[in-house]
Structures are given as C-alpha cells and as structure tokens.
Structure 1
Amino acid sequence: MSQQPPRRHGTRKPYRRPQKDPVRILAFEALRAVDERDAYANLVLPPLLRKAREGGDFDSRDAALATELVYGSLRRQGTYDAIIAQCVDRPLREVDPPVLDVLTLGAHQLLGTRIPTHAAVSASVELARVVLGDGRAKFVNAVLRKVAAHDLDGWLERVAPDYDEDPEDHLGVVHAHPRWIVSALWDALGGGRAGIEDLLEADNERPEVTLVARPGRSTAEELVAAVGEDSALPGRWSPYAVRLAEGGEPGALDAVREGRAGVQDEGSQLVALALANAPLDGPDRAWLDGCAGPGGKAALLAALAAQRGAALLASEKQPHRARLVARALDGNPGPYQVIAADGTRPAWRPGSFDRVLVDVPCTGLGALRRRPEARWRRRPEDLDGFAPLQRDLLRQALAAVRIGGVAGYATCSPHLAETRAVVDDVIKGRGGPAVDVEFIDARPLMPGVPALGDGPDVQLWPHLHGTDAMYLALLRRTG
C-alpha cells in the first residue's frame, strides 16, 4: 500500500443542491472540505450538522448517518481506494477528486454499512447526478456496480498483499493505515500480529465522547446525574471522567456550558493527574503548563492546583490558541495566568516552578480515531520537523523546574521517535540520568490502569485502555 492514497486536490466546482437526501450532500460537502482545504472532519462536520438541524432538514438519525458516512469514508479511505482502483479503467490519480469522493461514499455504504446494495448504489448515483452531472453519474453507477460484486472480505482477498510476503503492507490495506504508520506502531507496541491488529482495528472504531468534571467545580456523579444513568458511565480510570453513550450532546449540559466540566479524553486526564500527583521534594506552589493550547489539560491542572493553594501559569505560543486556553480556564477559583509565549524562549526565570508539563506538538498518531484523515495526511518526514521542537521544549521544561521539582513530557503519539528517543536524547545531552535528572515511575500514578509496560515511562493505547495513545515521562530535577 502506498504511503498516501493516490488522490489529488481539485478545484471547487459549482453544483446543484439536491432536492432530497440532504444527508449525503452534507457528507459530500464535508469530504470536499477535508480534501480541498486540508480541513479536519471533527472541525468541519459539527457546524454543517448544526446548520442542517437549524434548517429543519435533519433529525438525530440523519445526523448519525451523516457522521458515519464521513468518518467511515475517511477511516477506510486507503482500503476503498485500493478497491476502487480495481474497478476503474484509469489510474486513480486521474479520477477527479469530487468523483472519487462520491465513489468513496458509495463504497463505504456498500462495504462498511448495512445499507442494502440497491439503496447504496442508487443513492450514490443520484448524489453524483446532482453534484457532478449526468455523465459522471453514469461513471459512478458503473464503478459501484463492480464494487458491489463482492463484500469487504472478498475484496480484501483480492487487493491485500500476502501477509507472509509483506506483513506491513497486508495490514495497511486490510486495516486502512499507510504502511509506514503500521510499521511505526508495530515497533512501538512490540509483540506479535494479534496486538498490532487489535490496535489498528481500535483506530478504526468511533471513540467515545468523554467528559471531565473539573475538581472543586463539578463531580463525575453530577455529570452522570445530568446526562442520565442510561446514557452515561463513569470513566474507566480517571475519577473525574464520564463516558457518554453514542449521540450524547456535551454542549447541552449546564456544567459544560459554564466551564465547570469539559470534553477531554481519559488518557489526557491521566497525564495531567499523574503530573499533579507526582512526589515532590519541597514546596508545591507554582505550576506551569508550557504547551497549554487548546486548554484541556490546563483547565484540569488549574482546578487541581487551586485545591492545594498553588498557582498555574498556562503558556501557549499561538495567540488564538492562548485565547482558547483562557476560555477553558475562565471561572477557575484559584490563581492562574494565561500568556501567549514561546516555550522554547521562556518568559519566566529558570527554576521558577515546582511542577511543569509540556504536551508537545507531534504527528498526532495517537489520536487517529478522532482525526482519521490525519493518517493519510502525515508523512514520515514530518517527524524530522517536530524533533527539534520537541527536544527544545523538554530542555526548557527541565530548566523551568526547580531542584526537587518534577517535569512531565507528554505527547499524543506512540512513535518511538517522538517519545523515548526525545527523552533519552535530552537526558544524555545533560550528561546522563545520574547527573541532575532522575526518572519517576509514572505507573503507580495511574492507579488501576493495567498493561502499562516496564516503566518508568507510560504509553497508553486505544485497544488496551480505551484512550488516545498518550505518552508520559516524568523527570525529577536532582541538581
């Protein structure tokens, strides 16, 4: 499987809006935005759904179908491209992107949903007729009828390379991940075929919506009661987490609207809690979140700090993201400050903080469940672009923490080049762990969480923990 499906950007072309089937036209519009503008579906789709609801075109079942069509098409894009390529008479790169989007939506309905074959084909052809014209609708009809000749398993037997000859390429086609990502995840995970297949499948599942009750401002019990016990469950690991049943609306809750609670993956909560609960030598008054945008961890840290009489400084380089952080922290009872500052050029004196967290920019390979298009957008060379920044941020975090204090390095990627390699390089650059830095075992700071490895750092996994693949290393300054 190629590292990137053979698509190409196209120019936006005017099309007639259909008089019916607003669900599929909305899904088509979302896929075009992802392709043309490099947008993310989780940012594009909600306003489209909101507008459709306000216009009276959608009910909850329509919204659920549109969401499935968009996310399912994006998650399985590489697999569907391999199948569609067998059903067209030209290289896939020569198929116009809007046509390819319609074909992908059709392929997902045929191979990834329970929509009857005749309905999936006819609805896709009608969509093509309205948005692309009659000529292209005939092309769509011919291609999808070929796609419908086999189910997904039948197609995978035809298009996936043999596992014994090239296991990474086989798994990439079967589980819709670029080959380089399969290889990187397998290296990070270790173990045999079963583990990597479980992980890749978990990446293709729709993640739960998880809330965080910000300590001192709300409780998990309050959120469960507000949502209803039939629609909400306590978190698996975090005492502040609440998992919503499919279709839950976080924005409808008073606690979320008032900022007393928020949407936050449980892995992200665990990272913040581990940093907050790590043992210190000396006082515990000043905390720093050095990469605070968009504000989820900062809001949880600020609430925890307030309960101890500590103050949080939340720093974010990008001003618009700093404003998001300020919004997330608004109403926190304890002392805090939000600034727009570059963590590699700190605006604070060295040794000023007792606890420091840097959740560094990364490839985001740990959150492919939430941003499925990212797997097709990222390249191996992106790692080279992030590497210097990640090391600089960790170096500055260690400079910012006082002797006896704790610095946490976190990233939403399990790629070894973004996790252990960064931490090891920075420590070696200081002369090694025996000089002035020592690891803190992070595993006891995530009580009850299983399968955390050999330590002292921690890697969370979607298939093992139900979280994003967050990584955390905790380091104490000793000199």
Structure 2
Amino acid sequence: MSGRGRQRVDPARVAALDVLRAVRVEDGYTNLVLPAVLAQHGLGGRDAAFVTELAAGTIRRRATYDAVLAACIDRPLRKVESAVLDALRLGTHQLLGMRVPAHAAISTTVDLVRAKVSHGAGGFANAVLRKVSARDLDGWLAAVAPDAGSDPHGHLAVAESHPRWVVDALAEAVGEDDVAALLAADNVPPRVTLVARPGRASRDELPGAPTPYSPYGVTLDGGDPAGVPAVADGRAGVQDEGSQLVALALANAAVTGRDERWVDLCAGPGGKAALLAALAAERGAALTGVELHHHRARLVARAAAAGPGLAGVVQADATRAPFADASADRILLDAPCTGLGALRRRPEARWRRTPGDLAELVTLQRALLAEAARVLRPGGALLYATCSPVLAETAEVVTAILDAHPQLRLDDVRGSLPAVPDAEGPLPGTVQLWPHRHGTDAMFLALLRRE
C-alpha cells in the first residue's frame, strides 16, 4: 500500500473500525471501548460524535445491515473476511442510517478496506456498497425482511435488529401491541442521566432537565459528565433513572422495628450502592456492599466512599453471603441477568446473549434470592430487581422463591414509586419500567417480606 493511499484513510472511520474489532474480538463493551479508541486516535468534538454514532449505530443495527449485505454478496457472510465485513457494515450504516452522501460513504469505506486489508478487497467493497446504495432503508426492508403479516416477529428481528429469540421473549413480556415500540426504543441511544447523591449534592447544582420520576436525577443535553464539578467530586454520578428508582423503591419501603443495617448483595459496579449509602446515611443507617469480583468491589468502594453511609464492601459470593440469618433490615438484590432491558446503552449485548445464558442466569437468580431471604429479618424489606423484563428472570423467579419459601410473601412495591404511571409488572404489586413508556432501562422490581 502506498503512503499516498494510507493518507487518504479517514481517522474517524479507522477509529470506528477499531471499536467494532474490539467489541467482536475482545468482547469489549461499546461504551467502554469508545473513550480509549478516541483517545488513541486523538479525536474529539464532532469527530468523536461521528465515531460514536458510526460504531454504536453499526453494532445496534447489525441484523438489518447483514440482511442487506447478504442480498448484495454472492456467498454467505461467514465466508467474508471479518475486517472486510466490519467495514461493509460501517459503510452500510453510513448509506442507510446516517446523512453521509453516498459517494463519501462508499469511497471512504473502500479506502479503509484497501488500507486495512488489500487493494482487491477494496474493489470487492466498492462493488457491494454500490449495490447497497441502490435503495434506501425502507426499500431494503421491503426486500429482505420477512412479511410482517405472516411472520411479525421475523419481520421485527430484521427491521428492528434484534435476535429472533430476543424478540420472542420481549414480546411475551410487554405484549404484542407494544413490542415494536419497545424494540424501536432499544435502537435510540439514551441521553446521559446524572444523579445527585442526597446529603452530598442537590439536583439544583446539576446541569440538565429534571428527571420525571426520580427527585435526584437530571438528563443532560450534551457535554462530558466528567466536567460537572459534583460528578468529578463523587457527590453525583452517572446513573439511569430506572436504576435510581430501584434504590428509591427499597429506601421508601416500610419496615417495622430497627432500620440500621442495609445490604446490597450484588453491588458492582456501585451506582445503586452509592445512592443507597447516601439515603442510609440520612437515616443513621449504613450499607454493606457485597461483590464477587475484586475489580468491581473496588468500583463499589470508590463510588460509595465519598460520603457517609457505607459500612464497607465485602468481596464474597452472594450465594453464600457472609451474614447471619435474619440480620439485615433492607436488602437490595439487583441480580445478574441477561441485560435485555438495557439494550439502548449496551447494543452489543443483544448479539452476545443466548437462550443458554438465560437458563444459567435463572438458576443463579434463584440461588441468590434464596440467600437474600435467609439474611432478611422479619419486618424488613427485600427488593429483587433485574435489568431485564424477560418473564423467566422476573415473574418466574419470584414465583419459584415464593413456592419454595412459605415464610416469604410478595408485597406491593408500587406504593414506593407512586409517581410512576403505567408500570404494572407481571405479578400483582410488582413494577416493570420500559424504555418506550418511561424513558428508562426496563427494570423489574419486586418487594418481598419475611413473615
């Protein structure tokens, strides 16, 4: 490759290709990979915004673009070199999902493939993308997506770019009438939401518009949240409003008797723990966080230690929690889950999760909830939460624990979040938040009591 050819390669598109490779090869997370790649290439401002949309949008719409590319390539996509396929996806997103002129989308992608793979591969990319540019997105969907009348879930899997099994599971949870709106909301990048940790910061000192349901949150119109003084000081943090509501639901639940010992059983990476610790401190209580992994335990300690209310962080397996029976007054179990309620902010998760993962996670969720029930004292409050609306992880887990533990009962958590409308969960008294209804991640909440 000549030096002249290499100079024509756009750094922003090289950076986007690097993000796709890191997500594909190293199992990276888009939101975590992007800052490092942008710093490596020295990109900021409009270039950084372009890379973010190009990389995240390509990952988000992968199924749609792969269906289009499959119609333009005379061999299975699995036989296309990975680096070339990544570049073709980037080019297709520019053609069908961004306001990039066709000639620029094609020529810059061809230059990228020639620089990163070979001159011959560049010619192949040129031929493919010219075919892609012959139609707009709607035209391609009409050509490659299954018929919506005869196969509605198959159509949505391509049109809204979700694996078919995920479409099936989400439709079961939200209902057929709402599933298209939910999937579309998954493809809209969320705005950054901040939380003012009570007793340490006030919402008034944070820039942005107040969140509709959490009294501590604001949504930013733009800018780097790290530049907000309260965030830099650890008095505020970045946290989706749905996660704020999980912490508030536990803190607002009534308890009888002592209210001193709060526990977050799966505390990493620490956002909910930090908010709970601040709320606990206002009442003279203290929170103990439990986290299995060392690096995540350190994140919890860092997030929650900037103010009072944190009794400590214990690195331990929460299925064998280091607490005596009936010793905790309030327990949060934000259980590990498929994360299918947070696909707006973690676009790669939809391509990584499998039905096998779901089965393994349900087994873990049931074990964790049984252990939480052991630690909960009579008169206390246990909040089970997942960042997934999938019924196997929500209603079925709760029903199973109630069947296995007669001393537990399901209470009504809706009274702890009275300002949140249209959030009835799959079991009476539970809450289910939705991106398309509430602008939050799809958090599930169930409040349990021990008789």
After superposition, give the CA deviation of every residue in 1:366-387 in whole Å (9 maximum; x if it has no partner): 1111111111111111111111
**Deviation per CA, 1:284-315, whole angstroms, max 9, x where unpaired?**
11100000000000000000000000011111
Please say if residues 18 and 25 of structure 1, whose CA atoms lie closer than 8 Å, have aligned partners that are also in contact. no
Question: What is the CA–CA distance in structure 1 between the aligned matches of 2:170 and 2:99, rounded to whole Å?
Answer: 30
- The verdict on how the C-alpha distance between 1:126 and 1:444 changes in structure 2, with shifts beyond 3 A counting, is same
Give yes or no for the alignment of 1:197 onto 2:180: yes
Displacement of 1:17: 6.0
Aligned mate of 1:445, from 385, 394, 416:
416
Residue deviations 1:129-171 (CA, integer Å, cap 9, x gap): 1111211000000000000000000000000111122111111
2:446 equivalent to 1:473: yes
Judge which range, 92-101 or 329-338, deviates more. 329-338
| 1:172 corresponding residue in structure 2 | 157
- One-letter code aligned to 2:170: L
**Aligned equivalents of 1:51 and 1:17: distance in 2?**
18
Query: Is 1:39–2:28 an aligned residue pair?
Result: yes
Q: State the secondary structure of the residue aligned to 1:381.
A: helix
Distance 2:82 2:176 in 1: 39
Asked if 1:103 corresponds to 2:88, the answer is: yes
How many Å apart are 1:334 and its aligned residue?
Answer: 3.0
- Answer whether contact 1:106 1:120 (CA < 8 A) is retained: yes
How many Å separate the matches in 2 of 1:331 and 1:126? 49
CA change 1:400–1:123 in 2 (3 A) is same
- 2:435 pairs with 1:462: yes
Q: Could you say if the C-alpha distance between residues 335 and 26 of structure 1 is closer, same or farther in structure 2, counting changes exceeding 3 Å? A: closer
Structure 1 residues 331, 129: closer, same or farther in 2, change over 3 A? same
Mapping of residues 276-355 of structure 1, within 5 Å: 276-355=251-330
Q: Which residue of 1 aligns with 2:202?
A: 219
Matches of 2:309 and 2:273, distance apart in 1: 13
What is residue 390 of structure 1 aligned with on the other side? 365
Measured in 2, the distance between the counterparts of 1:349 and 1:67 equals 47
Amino acid of the structure 2 residue aligned with 1:113: M
> Which whole-Å deviations, capped at 9, do the CAs of 1:189-230 have from their partners, x for residues lacking one?
0242xx111101000001111011000000111112xxxxxx
Q: Does 1:241 align with 2:217?
A: yes
1:158 aligns with 2:131: no
Task: Give the C-alpha shift of residue 39 in structure 1.
Answer: 1.2
Q: Which residue of 2 aligns with 1:377?
A: 352
SS, match of residue 315 in structure 1: strand
The residue type equivalent to 1:26 in the other structure is: A
Distance (whole Å) between structure 1 residues aligned to residue 417 and residue 341 of structure 2: 18
CA-CA distance at 1:52 after TM superposition: 3.1
Checking the alignment, whether the CA contact within 8 Å between 2:38 and 2:44 is kept in structure 1 is: no
Query: Which of 130, 142, 145 is the aligned partner of 2:115?
Result: 130
1:77–1:335 CA distance, 2 compared to 1 (3 A): closer
The residue type equivalent to 1:67 in the other structure is: T
In the alignment, residue 409 of structure 2 is paired with which amino acid? E
- Residue-pair matches, total: 445
Offset of residue 437 of structure 1: 2.0
TM-score, with structure 2 as normaliser: 0.97
CA contact (8 A) 1:17 1:131 kept: no
SS at match of 1:367: coil
Question: What does the per-residue CA deviation read over 1:75-109, in whole Å, with 9 as the maximum and x for residues that have no partner?
Answer: 10001000000101111110011000000000000
Give distance in 2, aligned partners of 1:378 and 1:285. 38
The alignment partner of 2:206 has SS state of: helix
Alignment partners' CA distance in 1, 2:381 and 2:417: 16
The range that moved more, 201-210 or 118-127, is 118-127
Structure 1 length as normaliser, TM-score? 0.91
Aligned mates of 1:430, 1:296 — CA distance in 2: 30
CA apart distance, 1:48? 1.3
Q: Which residue of structure 1 lines up, in the alignment, with residue 391 of structure 2?
A: 416
Q: Is the 8 A contact 2:9 2:115 kept in 1?
A: no
- From 21, 27, 37, the equivalent of 2:10 is 21
Deviation (angstroms), 1:21: 1.3
Gaps of 5+ in 2: none
Give the deviation of 1:283 after TM superposition.
Answer: 1.4
Q: Is the 8 A contact 1:293 1:322 kept in 2?
A: yes
What secondary structure is seen at the aligned counterpart in 2 of 1:332?
coil
Partner amino acid, structure 2, of 1:461:
W
Contact in 2 for aligned 1:18/1:130 (Cα 8 Å): no
Runs in 1 of length 4+ with deviation above 4 angstroms? 16-20
* 2:9–2:108 CA contact under 8 A, matched in 1: no
Report SS of the residue matched to 1:218.
coil
In 2, Cα distance between equivalents of 1:385 and 1:166: 29
**Residue 206 of structure 1: which of 186, 189, 194 is its match?**
189
Question: Secondary structure at 1:176's aligned position in 2?
Answer: coil
Task: Note the alpha carbon deviations across 1:401-441, whole angstroms, 9 max, x for none.
Answer: 1101010101101100001100100110113xxxx222221
Give the CA deviation at 1:181: 0.5
Listed one character per residue, the Cα deviations across residues 214-273 of structure 1 (whole Å, up to 9, x for unaligned) are 00000111112xxxxxxx111121011010113x21111221121101111100000110
* Change beyond 3 A, Cα 1:18–1:270: farther
Are the counterparts in 1 of residues 269 and 300 from structure 2 also a CA contact under 8 Å? yes
* Matches of 2:278 and 2:6, distance apart in 1: 48
Whether contact under 8 Å (1:18, 1:127) holds in the other structure is no
Out of 286-295 and 32-41, give the one that drifted further: 32-41
- The 5-angstrom pairing of residues 41-120 of structure 1 reads 41-53=30-42, 58-120=43-105
Contact 2:304–2:310, Cα closer than 8 Å, also in 1: no
Matched-pair contact (CA < 8 Å) for 1:404–1:477: yes
* Aligned residue runs from structure 1 range 253-292, under 5 A: 253-292=228-267
Q: Secondary structure at the match of 1:163?
A: coil
